[in-house]
């Protein structure tokens, strides 16, 4: 479950986005699934068509009363998307997700009558949009500092409560843990040119990798670490080597890709890094030239691997573009949302094809089994003993040599 925060000038400005006016082919039909209007005395719906809530200025009223003290973008929009590999949540469950998020971020803490007004709206499957104002009922302004962090942390807790993530039991790190860290950590160079660290699961390894320059990526696939895409190719090997040295100094077992090890003779300098276009062409050639299911599975694994596959890279690129759109222009939330939906489509494709490589490998084992069976049948057919038995069984009776009839001895004589 992933949360994405944006800001807008007014709730009415969100109508084209939530109703799909900018993309009529979607034919969206938003519905209100929960809300809290706090101090409003106006009779407003909690369910149904949200147009009255968005266009009526109910959520904007506290900001309007504040006047010049209000932010230029007082509307707070939190879009939450769930893991496509799991069943979609009901409206009641999504409404509970919204309540938990507005509480944990401080938008509308439980039991606080002066909190901000908010409404939860659904217009697509596997997602909910929480619209709120950052101005509280008492006129104070909610600080959005670290809202994104609190929202994403709560999303992980919600996913764990729903059974979408394995629960992790907090543990106290001891000196013994530092002396015997497990499991081993592998720092490798992926076919796309990305540097990825796998196997680090404790807080010390996380701190060391982040200090070296790795960014943690936590989603439903688990905890992963990757150098930012903005890292210069010439610096990737140096950062990876430095991370490996720090981890080894902390007595971790580190497997560093030789192509990233600057301590080796010659180092990685001058080695060619494949561009995205070259990688795609290379994988396409491997797929077309696959002579067995094993080779086909090996090529497709570069596309479908959830940690470093090409689809995973495309998903990350679209997510980054979605966030960058609103960073460059806060009013471009419609563009940001479209990029986020595209990222969801890629994630859905990943989930649909998740077991494809396993199926191909099964087909490979089945093909090998059929080949061995055919070889064994051919060997049995060519066996001299089988040939002799077959010849004797197929020979006509007239070809058998005559045999003399010998009287049976009974043991008595005359």
Q: What is the DSSP string of 124-182?
A: STTEEEEEEESB-TTS-B---TTHHHHHHHHHHHHHHHTTSS---------HHHHHS--
> Full-prediction pTM beyond 0.75?
no
Q: Identify which of 20-29, 104-113, 174-183, 332-341 has the greatest average pLDDT.
A: 104-113
**How far apart are alpha carbons 117 and 135 in whole angstroms?**
8
Higher pLDDT, residue 330 or 124:
124
Looking at residue 167, what is its pLDDT?
46
Question: Residue 257: phi, psi to the nearest 5?
Answer: -55, 130
Looking at residue 148, what is its pLDDT?
85
Looking at residue 387, what is its pLDDT?
52
Cis peptide before 183 (omega within 30 of 0): yes
**For 300-323, how does the pLDDT look when each residue is reduced to its tens digit (9 = 90+)?**
777 777 666 777 778 778 877 887
**How far apart are alpha carbons 293 and 299 in whole angstroms?**
10
**How far apart are alpha carbons 139 and 118 in whole angstroms?**
15
Looking at residue 376, what is its pLDDT?
56
Residue 362 clears pLDDT 50, i.e. is over it: yes
Higher pLDDT, residue 239 or 222:
239
**For 264-283, how does the pLDDT look when each residue is reduced to its tens digit (9 = 90+)?**
655 554 444 455 666 777 77
Looking at residue 169, what is its pLDDT?
41
DSSP assignment string, 100-129: HHHHHHTSS-TT-TTS--EEEEE-STTEEE
**For 45-97, how does the pLDDT look when each residue is reduced to its tens digit (9 = 90+)?**
788 888 888 887 888 889 888 877 777 889 999 999 988 888 899 999 999 99
Output the six-digit token pair for 88: 């979609």
**241 and 265 Cβ atoms separated by less than 8 Å:** no
CA-based torsion, 48, 52, 54, 60: positive or negative? negative
**How far apart are alpha carbons 100 and 136 in whole angstroms?**
18
Looking at residue 152, what is its pLDDT?
87
Mean pLDDT of 213-223: 69
**Banded model confidence at residue 227, pLDDT cuts 50, 70, 90:** confident
**How far apart are alpha carbons 143 and 145 in whole angstroms?**
5
**Banded model confidence at residue 384, pLDDT cuts 50, 70, 90:** low
Residue 395 clears pLDDT 90, i.e. is over it: no
Higher pLDDT, residue 178 or 209:
209
Between the CA of residue 220 and those of 82, 158, 170, what are the distances in Å? Answer: 9, 12, 18
Mean pLDDT (the chain, rounded): 76
Residue 326 clears pLDDT 80, i.e. is over it: no
**How far apart are alpha carbons 140 and 152 in whole angstroms?**
25
Residue found by looking up tokens 């009641």 in the block: 92
Radius of gyration of the CA atoms of the chain, in A: 33
**For 136-162, how does the pLDDT look when each residue is reduced to its tens digit (9 = 90+)?**
998 899 988 888 888 988 998 998 888
Residue 398 clears pLDDT 50, i.e. is over it: no
In the chain, the percentage of residues whose pLDDT exceeds 90 is 14
Pseudo-torsion of CA 136, 141, 146, 148, nearest 10°?
A: 50
């Amino acid at each position: 479950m992933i949360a994405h925060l944006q800001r807008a000038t007014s709730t009415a400005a969100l109508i084209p986005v939530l109703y799909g006016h900018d993309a009529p082919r979607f034919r969206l039909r938003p519905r209100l699934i929960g809300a809290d209007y706090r101090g409003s005395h106006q009779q407003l719906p909690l369910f149904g068509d949200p147009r009255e809530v968005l266009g009526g200025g109910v959520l904007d009223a506290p900001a309007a009363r504040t006047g010049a003290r209000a932010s230029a973008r007082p509307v707070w929009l939190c879009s939450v998307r769930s893991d496509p590999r799991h069943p979609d949540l009901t409206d009641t469950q999504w409404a509970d997700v919204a309540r938990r998020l507005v509480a944990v971020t401080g938008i509308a803490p439980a039991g606080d009558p002066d909190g901000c007004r908010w409404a939860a709206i659904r217009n697509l499957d596997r997602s909910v949009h929480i619209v709120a104002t950052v101005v509280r009922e008492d006129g104070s302004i909610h600080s959005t500092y670290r809202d994104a962090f609190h929202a994403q942390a709560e999303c992980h807790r919600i996913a764990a409560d729903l059974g979408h993530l394995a629960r992790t039991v907090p543990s106290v790190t001891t000196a013994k843990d530092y002396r015997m860290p497990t499991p081993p950590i592998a720092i490798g160079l992926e076919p796309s040119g990305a540097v990825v660290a796998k196997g680090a699961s404790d807080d010390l390894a996380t701190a060391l990798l982040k200090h070296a320059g790795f960014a943690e990526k936590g989603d439903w696939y688990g905890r992963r670490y990757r150098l930012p895409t903005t890292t210069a190719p010439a610096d990737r090997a140096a950062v990876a080597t430095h991370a490996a040295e720090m981890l080894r100094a902390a007595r971790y077992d580190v497997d560093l890709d030789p192509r990233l090890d600057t301590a080796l003779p010659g180092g990685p300098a001058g080695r060619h890094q494949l561009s995205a276009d070259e990688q795609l062409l290379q994988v396409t050639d491997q797929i077309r030239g696959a002579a067995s299911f094993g080779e086909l599975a090996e090529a497709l694994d570069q596309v479908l691997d959830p940690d470093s596959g090409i689809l995973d890279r495309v998903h990350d690129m679209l997510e980054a573009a979605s966030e960058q759109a609103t960073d460059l222009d806060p009013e471009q939330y419609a563009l940001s949302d479209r990029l986020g939906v595209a990222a969801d489509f890629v994630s859905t494709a990943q989930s649909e094809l998740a077991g494809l490589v396993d199926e191909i490998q099964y087909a490979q084992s089945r093909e090998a089994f059929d080949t061995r069976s055919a070889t064994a049948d051919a060997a049995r057919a060519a066996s001299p003993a089988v040939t002799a038995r077959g010849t004797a069984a197929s020979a006509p009776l007239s070809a058998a040599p005559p045999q003399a009839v010998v009287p049976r001895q009974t043991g008595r004589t005359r």
